[in-house]
């Protein structure tokens, strides 16, 4: 690997090409693993990728890199990698849900990555608002049915801020969210604000009922305390 390091440091790309042709697969992989967090020169990175041992889809190796928690890959390197000819089309973006937001954004912008009906569910489970925001404004966004909106609300109401981004989107039909789920959302400021804005005719009676129940409960507690003191 020292030969690769020295050739890259010298800037002699012809010499680098000769060295890569005689280097072991492990030497190239080791160099990339050590330097993917840096900004690797475009031409150098292309040469390294061209000489990678994987004969088919380079995207498989990319997946391995991104699943390695010890690698803090620079997004500029990722952009070069996903545009490489050996990264084929139709890569499943769902396999990369947990990558950094700026890398996920690159995948959304690339025509080599596809989304499906499970993408938003996985993003809510990951609970990273920046990635949800990117997906909502992406050309790849798949609108939800009213049943899907209801199911996601019931499933992820505890991820309130992330969920509120979806509920606030005018493409989301909130008509099938159950009364029970809406009542659970009353105790969360982020969700309550969005729901009251989107479906006030449904939320206002629920809010009023909750307020009346809270008053009665407080009165009951006060009455019990007073009774205890009197006795």
- Residue 70: per-residue pLDDT: 62
Q: Do residue 186 and residue 226 come from a single domain? A: yes
Q: What is the pLDDT of residues 212-229, one digit of tens each?
A: 877 877 776 655 555 555
Q: Do residue 207 and residue 148 come from a single domain? A: yes
- Residue 55: per-residue pLDDT: 57
Q: Do residue 73 and residue 124 come from a single domain? A: no
Q: Do residue 80 and residue 13 come from a single domain? A: yes
Q: What is the pLDDT of residues 140-178, one digit of tens each?
A: 999 999 999 999 999 999 999 999 999 999 999 999 999
Close Cβ partners of 182 (under 8 Å, ≥ 6 residues apart): 195, 202, 203, 206
Give the domain range for residue 113.
89-142
Q: What is the pLDDT of residues 99-122, one digit of tens each?
A: 889 999 999 999 999 999 999 999
Q: What six digits make up the tokens of 73? A: 């890959």
Q: Do residue 126 and residue 152 come from a single domain? A: no
Q: What is the DSSP string of 173-211?
A: --TT--HHHHHHHTT-HHHHHHHHHH-HHHHHHHHHHHH
Q: Do residue 191 and residue 109 come from a single domain? A: no
Q: What one-character DSSP code corresponds to residue 170?
A: T
- Average predicted confidence (pLDDT) for the chain: 88
Q: What is the pLDDT of residues 29-87, one digit of tens each?
A: 888 888 888 889 999 999 998 887 665 567 777 777 777 656 678 888 989 988 888 78
Print burial letters for 138-174: b (CB count within 10 Å at least 16), e (below 16): bebbeebeeebbbbbbeebbebbebbbbbbbbeebbb
Spatial separation of the C-alpha atoms in residues 86 and 199, rounded to whole Å: 49
Domain count of the chain?
3
Q: Do residue 15 and residue 76 come from a single domain? A: yes
Q: What are phi and psi of 174, to 5 degrees?
A: -95, 10
- Residue 29: per-residue pLDDT: 82
Q: Do residue 191 and residue 173 come from a single domain? A: yes
Q: Do residue 81 and residue 147 come from a single domain? A: no
Q: Do residue 122 and residue 156 come from a single domain? A: no
- Residue 212: per-residue pLDDT: 82
Q: Model pTM?
A: 0.82
Instruction: Find the largest Cα–Cα distance for the chain.
Output: 96
Q: Do residue 156 and residue 219 come from a single domain? A: yes
Q: Do residue 214 and residue 149 come from a single domain? A: yes
């Amino acid at each position: 690997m020292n030969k690769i390091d020295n050739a890259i440091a010298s800037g002699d790309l012809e010499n680098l090409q000769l060295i890569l042709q005689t280097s072991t697969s492990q030497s190239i992989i080791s160099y990339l693993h050590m330097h993917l967090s840096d900004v690797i020169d475009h031409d150098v990175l292309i040469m390294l990728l061209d000489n990678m041992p994987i004969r088919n889809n380079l995207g498989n190796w990319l997946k391995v890199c991104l699943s390695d928690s010890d690698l803090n890959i620079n997004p500029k390197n990722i952009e070069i990698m996903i545009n490489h000819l050996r990264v084929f089309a139709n890569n499943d973006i769902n396999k990369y849900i947990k990558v950094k937001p700026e890398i996920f954004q690159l995948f959304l912008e690339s025509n080599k990555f596809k989304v499906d009906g499970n993408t938003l569910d996985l993003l809510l489970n990951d609970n990273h608002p920046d990635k949800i925001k990117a997906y909502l404004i992406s050309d790849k966004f798949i609108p939800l049915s009213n049943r899907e909106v209801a199911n996601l609300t019931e499933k992820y109401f505890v991820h309130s801020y992330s969920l509120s981004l979806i509920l606030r989107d005018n493409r989301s039909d909130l008509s099938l969210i159950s009364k029970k789920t809406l009542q659970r959302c009353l105790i969360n400021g982020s969700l309550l604000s969005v729901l009251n804005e989107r479906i006030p005719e449904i939320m206002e009676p629920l809010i009023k009922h909750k307020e009346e129940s809270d008053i009665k409960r407080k009165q009951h507690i006060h009455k019990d305390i007073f009774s205890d003191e009197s006795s």
